[in-house]
């Protein structure tokens, strides 16, 4: 079996890291042991993980902050995939697609000190 595949035109290892469980209980708030989370992130990179699936929702913002604070400046081969969702439930409405894109796409990237655009194949609106 091949150990790599592609995310768009970018080669990635088949094993990545899903960051959802790095937040606190129920995916909200800080983790019980932030140093253990930082150790997991560093060890994942040491073991060859080159892509992390994350979302602003995790924490919220807590996991993205931990990733940034632990791994920035990012290794050259690291890809961060951000999930987004359309907040149109229970009476909440997004006023425009521009507001949605800023809130769910550009703001988290700026928060993580990322300057590149989206990767083809990034997870889109859910």
What is the model's pLDDT at position 97?
53
Q: Are 55 and 20 in contact (CB under 8 A)?
A: yes
Does some domain include residue 120?
no
Q: Are 40 and 63 in contact (CB under 8 A)?
A: no
- Tally of domains in the chain: 1
DSSP character at residue 89: S
DSSP character at residue 103: I
Does some domain include residue 124?
no
* Domain, as residue range, for 29: 4-111
Does some domain include residue 35?
yes
Domain at 48, CATH number: 3.20.20.100
Does some domain include residue 116?
no
Does some domain include residue 122?
no
Indicate which residues carry an active-site annotation.
58
pTM for this one? 0.71
Q: What is the pLDDT of residues 58-81, one digit of tens each?
A: 888 899 899 999 999 989 899 888
Reduced to 3 states, what is the DSSP secondary structure of residue 32? coil
Does some domain include residue 83?
yes
Query: For the chain (length 126 residues), average pLDDT per consecutive 10?
Result: 82 91 94 98 95 87 92 90 59 55 62 53 38
Does some domain include residue 31?
yes
Task: Read off φ and ψ for residue 12, nearest 5 degrees.
Answer: -140, 155
Does some domain include residue 126?
no
């Amino acid at each position: 079996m091949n150990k790599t595949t592609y995310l768009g035109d970018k080669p990635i290892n088949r094993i990545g890291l899903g960051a959802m469980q790095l937040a606190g209980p129920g995916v909200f708030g800080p983790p019980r042991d932030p140093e253990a989370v930082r150790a997991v992130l560093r060890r994942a990179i040491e073991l060859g993980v080159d892509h992390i699936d994350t979302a602003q929702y995790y924490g919220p913002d807590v996991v993205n902050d931990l990733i940034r604070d632990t791994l920035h400046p990012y290794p050259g081969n690291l890809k961060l995939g951000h999930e987004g969702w359309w907040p149109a439930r229970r009476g909440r409405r997004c006023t425009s697609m521009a507001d949605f894109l800023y809130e769910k796409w550009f703001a988290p990237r700026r928060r993580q000190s990322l300057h590149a655009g989206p990767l083809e194949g990034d997870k889109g609106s859910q």
